[in-house]
Chain A
Amino acid sequence: MSMILFFAAAASDAEPMMEVTGQAASVAIEILILTLLVATAVSMIRMRQLFGVAMLSGIYSLLSAAFFVALDAVDVAFTEAAVGAGVSTVLVLSGIALTAKREMPVDRRRQLLPLLIVFVTGGALVYSTIDMPAFGDPQAPANAYVGAEYIAQTPQDVEVPNIVTAVLASYRGFDTLGETVVVFTAGLACLLLLGTTLRGGGKGGRD
């Protein structure tokens, strides 16, 4: 009951009961997806068969895409589903085909120090979340300044219904140009590292 009261407080004034339960349901879905994400990530640690790890990372991407939809980030979810679950998995699989199929077993003693570092760092980060603004707070500093400005100004400045596109291509066009150049450079680096088929080294399409 206190949970429902909390959402009633978090939502705007005097919502009807139906809306409150709807919000509780959406938060429940988010928590479920997050728990599944952690389960996938933890099982990735244990698995030494790299093919399985690649598949799990594909599942992880798809789950995070679902999570992005639950948090209203439809554009991001779209990208994550296309890139993470699609292209990225194919690339990792072809990388595995060219390198190694299994991982060497790791020395137990070598795992202790990383474990210690991870727990100390994680503990410090969890301690820092106590001061963080509550999840979904419209008054949070991250939502207050430039983001609100974009929402308010897009109808006048750009007149494109999708605010994300307006910010991406118009307000922050210079930023996106930089990102495109980074993608271009990465493609060029792959080309230089692995070469084209011109060098005669290996043609695909084995029958």
Chain B
Amino acid sequence: MGHLILRVTIKTLFAPIILFALYVQFHGDYGPGGGFQAGVILASAFILHALGFGLDRCQRVIPPSWLPVGMALGVLIYAGTGVYTLLFGGNFLDYDVIQPDSHHHAGQHIGIIAVELGVGLAVAATMLQIYYAFAGREPEPMDDSW
């Protein structure tokens, strides 16, 4: 299945897309980007691969059973950061208590990176989960065209 040109293009683009997703994830403080965008881009790399090479090969790399775990883990990382700051005497998601001595607001930076990581993981897993759910269904034969 698939055209040769499509396959070669997908193979060439696959790694750069993942690299770009990581760049967007970790450079979100400085330029446009962040967890939401990075998650979607990361998921789109795998969706592209699945479109070109079939769902089975993609599911061998990322088994469907991982994805609910990834979704939950992302939300838990986010909420866990909030609970962490709560335990250290701050408000929920008050990152300043992570590094109270810093005059560069290092606590804010660490907190934002942790939170964005959670968002990225949750969004990437959710998008891939949604795609798996749709692509895993066998299309019924459509005799009547509508």
Closest to B31 in A: A162
Residues of A within 8 A of B79 (CB): 177
For A100, give its contact among B31, B74, B78, B146 (CB under 8 Å): B146
Q: How many interface residues does A have (CB within 8 Å)?
A: 58
Q: Which residue of chain A has the shortest Cβ distance to B116 in the bound complex?
A: A169
Evaluate whether A194 and B146 lie within 8 angstroms (CB atoms) in the complex, with A83-B40, A165-B34, A170-B108 already known.
no
A184/B122 contact (C-beta < 8 A), A170-B95, A173-B115, A204-B55 known: yes
Given the known interface contacts A183-B123, A204-B56, the answer about A177 and B130 at a Cβ–Cβ threshold of 8 Å is no
Residues on A with C-beta less than 8 A from B127 are 87, 187
Contacts of A100 in B (CB 8 A): 142, 145-146
On whether the beta carbons of A94 and B131 are closer than 8 Å, the reply is: yes
The answer to whether B32 and A78 touch across the interface, beta carbons within 8 angstroms, is yes
Task: Find out whether the CB atom of A173 lies under 8 angstroms from the CB atom of B56.
Answer: no
B95 CB, nearest partner CB in chain A, Å: 6
* Number of residue pairs A-B, CB distance < 8 angstroms: 185
Minimal beta-carbon separation of A118 from chain B (angstroms): 25
**Contact of A11 with B by CB under 8 A:** no
Residues facing B in A172-186 (CB within 8 A) are 173-174, 176-177, 180-181, 183-184, 186
Q: Are B119 and A176 in contact (CB under 8 A)?
A: yes
Residue contact B145 to A102, C-beta cutoff 8 Å:
yes
A188 adjacent to chain B (CB < 8 Å): yes
- Which A-chain residue is minimally distant from B38 (CB atoms)? A82
A202 and B126 contacting across the interface, CB-CB below 8 Å: no
For window 96-125 of A, CB contacts with B under 8 Å fall at: 97-98, 100-104
Which of A22-30, A134-142, A152-160 contacts its partner? A152-160
* A75: interface (CB < 8 Å): yes
Q: Give Cα A200 to B119, complex, Å.
A: 31
Q: Is B33 in contact with A91, judged by CB distance below 8 angstroms?
A: no
B1 at the interface (CB under 8 A from A): yes
Pairwise interchain contact B29-A204, C-beta atoms closer than 8 A = no
Task: Point out the residue from A91, A159, A177 that lies within 8 Å of B108, measured CB to CB.
Answer: A159
Given A95-B134, A159-B104, A162-B28, verify A169-B41 contact (CB < 8 Å): no
Beta-carbon contact of B64 and A196 below 8 Å: yes
- 0/1 interface trace, chain A 44-74, chain B, CB 8 Å (1 if under): 0000000000000000000000000000001
Instruction: Sample 27 A-B pairs with CB under 8 A, ordered by A number.
Output: A75-B34, A75-B37, A78-B24, A97-B139, A158-B105, A159-B105, A159-B108, A169-B115, A170-B108, A176-B78, A177-B78, A177-B93, A180-B119, A181-B75, A186-B126, A187-B68, A190-B129, A190-B134, A191-B133, A195-B136, A201-B138, A202-B137, A202-B138, A203-B56, A205-B56, A206-B54, A207-B1
Q: Which A residues contact B (CB, under 8 angstroms)?
A: 74-75, 77-79, 82-83, 86-87, 90-91, 94-95, 97-98, 100-104, 157-162, 164-166, 168-170, 173-174, 176-177, 180-181, 183-184, 186-188, 190-191, 193-198, 201-207
Known: A165-B112, A170-B95, A193-B133. 10 other contacts (CB 8 A): A158-B112, A159-B104, A159-B109, A161-B31, A164-B32, A166-B112, A180-B118, A180-B119, A187-B71, A203-B55
